[in-house]
Chain A
Amino acid sequence: MYTAIIFLPLLGALIAGFLGPWIKDLGAQLVTCGALLLSAVLAVVAFVEVAIGGQPRTIELASWITSGSFDASWSLRWDTLTAVMVLVVTVVSSMVHVYSIGYMSHDDSKPRFMAYLSLFTFAMLMLVSADNLVQMFFGWEGVGVASYLLIGFWYHKPSANAAAIKAFVVNRVGDFGFALGILGIYLLFDSVSLDVIFAAAPEKAGTVMSFLWMEADALTVLSILLFIGAMGKSAQLGLHTWLPDAMEGPTPVSALIHAATMVTAGVFLVARMSPMFEYAPTALAVVTVVGAATAFFAATVGTCQNDIKRVIAYSTCSQLGYMFFALGVSAYSAAIFHLMTHAFFKALLFLSAGSVIHALHDEQDMRNMGGIWRKIPFTYAMMWIGSLALAGIPFFAGYYSKDLIIEAAWASHSGVGHFAFWMGITAALLTAFYSWRLLFMTFHGKPRMDQHTLEHAHESPPSMTVPLAVLALGAVISGFVGYDVFVGTQMDAFWGASIKVLPENNTIEAAHHVALWVKILPIGVAAAGISLAYIAYILKPELPAMFVARFRPLYLFLLNKWYFDELYDWLFVKRAWQIGRWFWQGGDRAIIDGFGPDGISMVARWCAGQAGRLQTGYLYHYAFAMLIGVVALVSWYLAFGG
């Protein structure tokens, strides 16, 4: 069963991908959805057995690479952390699969889409169930490839291609860190197996290794390298730029990959490696600061975006920031808890947004929406539930997890913790504001789209609304159902050995006993944010324009996402472009139009030209070249080799 959960999606992907032309659209949809639903059901059973029943296990599949002391095998590690992740991934993924049947109904290449989705799911499951870092890296790269394929799914759109490449390249930077981290771990622990690493981590604490030009604490360096990998995948500040662009992909993709699952891989990685991070306090501080900064940064940008999916994308980015600073203050279980609730409500928001887009014929700009809540009441309701959960309004899922994170940050009583706390509070205010800005701009006010679109606005088919309902259920109840087991009284029994927290870092416990104002403040700011949005977009719609006129630089700063893209463009892309031109001009020009005046270009062209000239076709030239080669080799040997 445990194996089947992981491999059913692969089977579905293979069938849909390779037999697509034969089994037709419907067949591909049935196969992949069936495989995923079955996998989800089994995942629930596995969750009950492993997590609730407390029976972690490891399943050996096959040996993979054995080379000296390097031993990596295919095996599945089923502990509570895995079970939670598998549950989230399979449930959300199966819902997205079903949703896609409706959403992609006008597309030509459905089997391909379904195959990619299933392939992604398989890679993600491989990632979360990995027993060693190499296998995890395999899954890690697998989700990267699947994400690349899905972002660029509409390959005829240049923007989609560009976004796909951007996502791939930015992730590469992170992956480089991750790969270095794995190599370093192998160097230090002489193993890539998680069990071995975890067992040896305490005694390696304080080991010094030389990194770049300096001597540094080994565990800190390795943890930060791993965290760089996590930053790339989870779009943390600095490596976040690909995520909003990735919204060029179909909406179900955004929901599955760029909200619920893949982007949380970084969170998972850090939680998984908690036994190592715990011994690297500096690394944890870095995680906290980066996470908190991301939460704040993304929330500010979210307030000024106009593309409905980009708003949600920045919201995702911001929520990931929350998860990371939770990790940073050792509240791993809170981070995973938020990961789970977030997966539900963010998938819900994305799919609802997809439903809106679907209803308005692929319109994504909120400035061209408005006043459609009567037309699509169900989607409207779903959007409300999602937003309430996101803003952390009491008794919705987000309230339990997000507030706990903020409290844990406060309870950590460290400088970075307090920084994270205040960033988190500000971000909470902004979150509520932009969520309701989105709601109001999309559904209320005067319709701003053309007449034709308005008339044809319609509620989505059941294949889209049913998954919405399921996810909405999750967004409402997953909070209070999960609270006790994930972070409450039964926490220790639940997580078992899968997460390790040093006694002195037990912030969750402390978070339950913080001052009342700390507990109330997040709710207060959320309410304030909602009111602000209500005033700005319903009561006095002229207010935002006034604000923009008054604080134009600030507005532009936010609208342009803090000029990150421009900065990177200038700093890396332009430079890389220059270097690239420098390197490749020869190859390019030699192929395209011949001459290039630049030095390097001339050399490369000359090489290619010489290569061509050598290949004259005359036999005696060839024979002569061989003779020269022999003489050169002999002379070389006589001169240097003797």
Chain B
Amino acid sequence: MDTVTTLPVMMPAAAEIFLTVVGMVLLMAGVFRGEKMLKPLAWATVAAFILAAGLVIMYGGTGAAFFGLFVTEAFAQFAKILILLGSGFAILLSLGYLKSEKAGRFEYPVLILFATVGMMLMVSANDLMALYMGLEMQSLALYVIAAIRRDTLRSTEAGLKYFVLGALSSGMLLYGCSLIYGFTGTTSFEVLAQVFAADSTPSTGLIVGLVFLITGLAFKVSAVPFHMWTPDVYEGAPTPVTALFAVAPKVAALALFVRVMSEPFGDLLASWQQILVFLSIASMVFGALAAMVQTNIKRLMAYSSIGHMGYALVGLAAGNEAGITGVMIYLATYIFMNIGAFACILAMRRDGRLVEELSDLTGLSKTHPMMALALMIFMFSMAGIPPLAGFFGKWYVFLAAVEAGLFGLAVIGVLASVVGAFYYLRIVKLMYFDDAENPLDSKVAGDLRLILYGSAAVTLLFFLVISPIYDSARAAAASLIGA
């Protein structure tokens, strides 16, 4: 056999390599200096994220590294920026929490950093094996983070559930990968694409493999019926961790989903479209229905994120360039709404202790007018009311679905969003029309307030920048399937 003797190309992966090195350095710093390093480490991690984002942007082009296992293009860059944003904000949200709950451990930012690297690797994976490794890397770090408050029952339960079900889903994913490998003899996305381009009537076994692969990915984006872990983990994990779970891994998994479906299996659209339509409808409807009966705001956000993933999958199910553009815009809006909403949840304290029941929000508009206004903006945006950010996400994915001829899907999506609006507006009603019996603490930490108002402003004024966002999302989509 011929042995590859040249050094692999590495520049396209500069951001990931940089982050990994920083992660190891920070880990050493933490180990040697102890718990008091938490705050500096957290800030250093955020700084590293910013630098990594810079590196991602600097290496702007399309390129492959590590003998084609790793690729980057506008699509990957768009997704990576969103991931870095989400992770960075999640760390900032954690600072106050870790301090007040005395749960600070220096490994926390380091684990988030490694999880982020895993996500970035997922987004750039160009091979079934690379896909699996990236996925495992981020999952493993997230399992640990979910259970990081090991002394509380709920946190450990969340971590364990996430771990066991995650392992099951990984197993299915691997099984799918091996079936695909068995039927095609390759794991490389490019070769797979060539195989299917030449012969677009796949064997049954291959499709069964694909179904298993989709199952594994659907678990990661918590699409119904692979969503069962989401509410329990969201509720049990510490709130800032939930905030992280709600944004960064979702972006990464969905981006990976998009890449897998459109790059190697793009020519098998007819085979997987129905499955995705089903997943999407089930997620939208189930998310909306189940959210109505929730009383815990974190569980509510879990169902809300299930629903949101359903909408995003509409764009993927459309399977065209417009659909992917829609997904990217949806993710961009989704990040800001969720970060803001979780900042609100973290600001809900009574007598210094965090509370998370919906009933705790009653009369918020009287006691915290600005916070109530911001939360109202997020809720309206999630409900998809124009001209807020959330509306554009929904609009573009539904548009793509219509373009692809999936009228039924678009109609069900719109109906589900109407039902979904009900529970978002219920929160607004609680805040604005009910009287507070037991007001929350009036003092809200400065950093939370900053994030809160910042994301509210972005959500509110998103329509002003829709044009550049749309352009870059479109470029991202084109880089994936237009080329």
Contact = CB atoms under 8 A, between A and B. Distances in A.
Interface of A: 62-67, 138, 141, 155, 587, 590-591, 604, 607-608, 611-612, 614-615, 617, 619, 621-623, 625-626, 628-630, 632-634, 636-638, 640-642
11 contacts: A62-B464, A65-B470, A67-B399, A138-B387, A590-B292, A607-B289, A611-B289, A615-B290, A625-B225, A625-B228, A626-B228
A138 B388 CA distance: 12
Interface of A: prevailing SS: helix
Contacts of B211: 630, 633-634, 637
Nearest 9 A-B pairs (CB), nearest first? A629-B225, A622-B228, A611-B290, A608-B293, A630-B215, A63-B467, A633-B211, A634-B211, A587-B292
B386 A590 contact: no
Contacts of B97: none
Interface stretch (B79-87, B160-168, B189-197): B160-168
Interface in B116-157: none
Contacts of B271: 637, 641
Interface centre among B172, B215, B232, B293 (most CB of A within 10 A): B293
B204 A608 contact: no
A510 B226 CA distance: 74
Given A587-B422, A615-B228, A629-B225, 20 more contacts: A64-B467, A66-B470, A155-B433, A591-B292, A608-B289, A608-B292, A612-B290, A622-B165, A623-B165, A625-B225, A626-B215, A626-B226, A626-B228, A630-B211, A632-B225, A634-B212, A637-B208, A637-B211, A637-B274, A641-B275
Contacts of B275: 633, 636-637, 641
B108 interface: no
A628 B422 CA distance: 30
Contact of A640 (B172, B229, B274): B274
B356 to A, nearest CB: 17
Interface residues of B, number: 41
B278 A633 contact: yes
Interface in B256-291: 271, 274-275, 278, 286, 289-290
B20 to A, nearest CB: 32
Nearest to A630: B215
B229 A608 contact: no
B249 interface: no
A617 B232 contact: yes
A607 B286 CA distance: 9
Contacts of B464: 62
B114 interface: no
A619 B169 CA distance: 13
B466 interface: yes
Given A623-B164, A630-B211, A612 B386 contact: no
B111 interface: no
A630 B466 CA distance: 38
Contacts of B168: 623, 626
Interface of B: 160-161, 164-165, 168-169, 172, 204, 207-208, 211-212, 214-215, 219, 225-226, 228-229, 231-232, 271, 274-275, 278, 286, 289-290, 292-293, 386-387, 399, 422, 432-433, 463-464, 466-467, 470
Contacts of B215: 626, 629-630, 633
A590 B470 contact: no
Contacts of B228: 614-615, 621-622, 625-626
B161 A622 contact: yes
A619 B166 CA distance: 11
A611 B283 CA distance: 12
Contacts of B229: 622
A62 B471 CA distance: 14
Contact of A619 (B165, B214, B470): B165
Contacts of B214: 633
B466 A64 contact: yes
A7 to B, nearest CB: 12
A640 B211 CA distance: 14
A619 B204 CA distance: 31
Contact of B225 (A138, A141, A626): A626
A421 B386 CA distance: 42
Contacts of A638: 204, 208
A116 to B, nearest CB: 13
- Specify which of B228, B289, B467 lies most central, judged by the most chain A CB atoms within 10 Å of its CB: B228
A591 B278 contact: no
A642 B205 CA distance: 11
A306 B271 CA distance: 70
Nearest to B161: A619
A423 to B, nearest CB: 38
Contact of A615 (B219, B232, B470): B232
B158 to A, nearest CB: 11
Contacts of A629: 215, 225-226
Contacts of B164: 619, 623
A612 B293 contact: yes
Contacts of A634: 208, 211-212
Nearest to A584: B422
A66 B467 contact: yes
A459 to B, nearest CB: 35
A636 B215 CA distance: 14
Contacts of B160: 619
A441 B204 CA distance: 87
A63 B232 CA distance: 44
Contacts of B286: 611
Contact of B219 (A62, A141, A626): A626
A115 to B, nearest CB: 11
Nearest to B172: A630
A588 to B, nearest CB: 9
A606 B33 CA distance: 56
A611 B432 CA distance: 29
